[in-house]
Chain A
Amino acid sequence: MSTVAATIAGASQVRDAMSRVRVYLRDTIAVRTALLAAAAGFSAATLGQLTIVLGVGLLAMQLSSGLQNMLTLVLPVALALGVLLWRLMQSETVTAVRAALWYEEHVPSAHAVVTLVERAGEELSVAISGQLARQAAINLHDPLPAKAQLRYARWLAWRTPAVVVLGASVALFAMAGVKSQLGQGSVADASLVRSAQGANGAATAVDRLNDWQVRVTPPSYVSLPVQTLSDATTVRALTGSRVIITGAGDSIGLVATLGAQRLNVSGSNQWQVSAIMPTAPTALRVSDGAQSRILTFIPQPDSLPQVQLLTPQRDSVYRDTVGMVRLNAQASDDFGLRSLAFEVILTSGAGEQYTARTLTLGARSLSGAREASAEYALSFAVLKVAPGDVMHVRAVARDLHPASLREPGVSETRSIRFARADEYDSVAVEAAPPPVVDSSMLSQRMLLDLTQKLEVRRPRIAREVLVSESRKLGAEQARIRRAVSAMVFQRLTGEGESEHVHYEGDGHDHGLTAQEGKLVPSFGANGMVAMPGAVASGQSGQPNNNATDESAIVAINRPLLEAYNAMWDAGRALELADPREAIPHMRLALEAIQRARAAERVYLRGRVRPIVVDLARVRLVGKDTGQDSRRRAGSRATSARELYGNRLLRASEQLVIDPVAARDSLVALRIDALSNDPGLSAALELVLNALQAGEDATTPLVRARRALIRPVAGQGVSAWSVP
Chain B
Amino acid sequence: MTARKHATVTAMSSHTDTPRVSDTALVSPNASPFVFATAQYESGDWDSAPSLAGNIIDTIARYTSLPVEPQGAMVSLSSNDALRYPLLFLTGHLPVRFTAQEGQVIKRYVERGGLLFIDDHNHDIDGAFHKTATEEIARLVGTLQPLSNTHALYSSFFTFSDGPPTTSHELNGWGDNLVHEQLLAVMRNDRISVLYSNKDYSSEWNFHPDNKRFMGVDPTRFAVNLVVYALTH
- Using a CB–CB distance below 8 Å, which chain A residues touch chain B? 315, 345, 347, 349, 352, 354, 356, 358, 390, 392, 394, 407, 412-413, 415, 608-615, 618-619
Is B68 part of the contact surface with A, judged by Cβ < 8 Å? yes
Task: Please determine whether A615 and B61 come into contact, CB atoms closer than 8 angstroms.
Answer: yes
Bound form: Cα–Cα A612–B43 in Å: 27
Task: Please determine whether A613 and B139 come into contact, CB atoms closer than 8 angstroms.
Answer: no
Known: A610-B53, A613-B209. A356 touches B95 (CB 8 A): yes
Show 12 A/B contacts (Cβ-Cβ < 8 Å), sorted by A: A354-B127, A392-B43, A394-B97, A412-B97, A412-B100, A610-B71, A610-B72, A611-B54, A611-B209, A613-B58, A615-B61, A619-B62
Q: In the complex, which residues of chain B have a beta carbon less than 8 angstroms from the beta carbon of A352?
A: 169, 174-175, 203
Q: Distance in Å from the Cβ of B40 to the closest Cβ of chain A?
A: 10
Q: Distance in Å from the Cβ of A245 to the closest Cβ of chain B?
A: 35
Pairs of residues from A and B, 3 with the lowest C-beta to C-beta distance, nearest first: A611-B54, A356-B128, A413-B97
**Contact indicator per residue, chain B 88-125, by CB within 8 Å of chain A (1) or not (0):** 00000111010110000000000000000000001010
Task: Please determine whether B122 and A354 come into contact, CB atoms closer than 8 angstroms.
Answer: yes
Task: Please determine whether B97 and A618 come into contact, CB atoms closer than 8 angstroms.
Answer: no
**Contact indicator per residue, chain B 73-92, by CB within 8 Å of chain A (1) or not (0):** 01000000000000000000
Q: Which residue of B lies closest to A354 (CB)?
A: B93
Bound form: Cα–Cα A394–B174 in Å: 30
Is B181 part of the contact surface with A, judged by Cβ < 8 Å? no
Task: Please determine whether A618 and B50 come into contact, CB atoms closer than 8 angstroms.
Answer: no
Q: In the complex, which residues of chain A have a beta carbon less than 8 angstroms from the beta carbon of B44?
A: 415
Is B70 part of the contact surface with A, judged by Cβ < 8 Å? yes
Task: Please determine whether A613 and B51 come into contact, CB atoms closer than 8 angstroms.
Answer: no
State the majority secondary structure of interface residues on B.
loop
Task: Please determine whether A413 and B43 come into contact, CB atoms closer than 8 angstroms.
Answer: yes
Q: In the complex, which residues of chain A have a beta carbon less than 8 angstroms from the beta carbon of B72?
A: 610-611
Task: Please determine whether B209 and A392 come into contact, CB atoms closer than 8 angstroms.
Answer: no
Q: In the complex, which residues of chain A have a beta carbon less than 8 angstroms from the beta carbon of B55?
A: 611
Q: In the complex, which residues of chain B have a beta carbon less than 8 angstroms from the beta carbon of A358?
A: 128, 131
Is B188 part of the contact surface with A, judged by Cβ < 8 Å? no
Contacts between the two chains (Cβ within 8 Å), count: 81
Among A394, A412, A609, A615, contact of B68 (Cβ-Cβ < 8 Å): A615
Most interface-central of A354, A358, A412 (chain B CB within 10 A): A354
**Contact indicator per residue, chain B 169-195, by CB within 8 Å of chain A (1) or not (0):** 100001100000000000000000000
Known: A610-B71, A613-B61, A613-B70. A347 touches B93 (CB 8 A): yes
Task: Please determine whether A613 and B57 come into contact, CB atoms closer than 8 angstroms.
Answer: yes
Known: A347-B128, A352-B174, A608-B50. A615 touches B93 (CB 8 A): no
Q: Which residue of B lies closest to A410 (CB)?
A: B97
Is B208 part of the contact surface with A, judged by Cβ < 8 Å? yes
**Contact indicator per residue, chain B 45-69, by CB within 8 Å of chain A (1) or not (0):** 0010011011101100110000010
Known: A356-B128, A413-B43, A608-B50. A613 touches B97 (CB 8 A): no
Bound form: Cα–Cα A315–B41 in Å: 13
Q: In the complex, which residues of chain A have a beta carbon less than 8 angstroms from the beta carbon of B99?
A: 412-413
* Apart from the given pairs A315-B42, A618-B58, 18 other A-B contacts in the complex at a CB distance below 8 Å: A345-B95, A347-B93, A347-B94, A347-B95, A354-B122, A354-B127, A392-B43, A392-B97, A413-B97, A608-B47, A609-B50, A610-B53, A610-B72, A611-B53, A611-B209, A613-B61, A613-B71, A615-B68
Is B132 part of the contact surface with A, judged by Cβ < 8 Å? yes
Q: Distance in Å from the Cβ of B190 to the closest Cβ of chain A?
A: 24
Most interface-central of A352, A613, A614 (chain B CB within 10 A): A613
Task: Please determine whether B94 and A390 come into contact, CB atoms closer than 8 angstroms.
Answer: yes
Bound form: Cα–Cα A358–B132 in Å: 11
Most interface-central of B58, B94, B95 (chain A CB within 10 A): B95
Q: Distance in Å from the Cβ of B177 to the closest Cβ of chain A?
A: 13
Among B54, B97, B208, B209, contact of A610 (Cβ-Cβ < 8 Å): B54
Bound form: Cα–Cα A358–B100 in Å: 22
Task: Please determine whether A345 and B132 come into contact, CB atoms closer than 8 angstroms.
Answer: yes
Task: Please determine whether B209 and A356 come into contact, CB atoms closer than 8 angstroms.
Answer: no
Known: A394-B97, A610-B54. A619 touches B61 (CB 8 A): yes
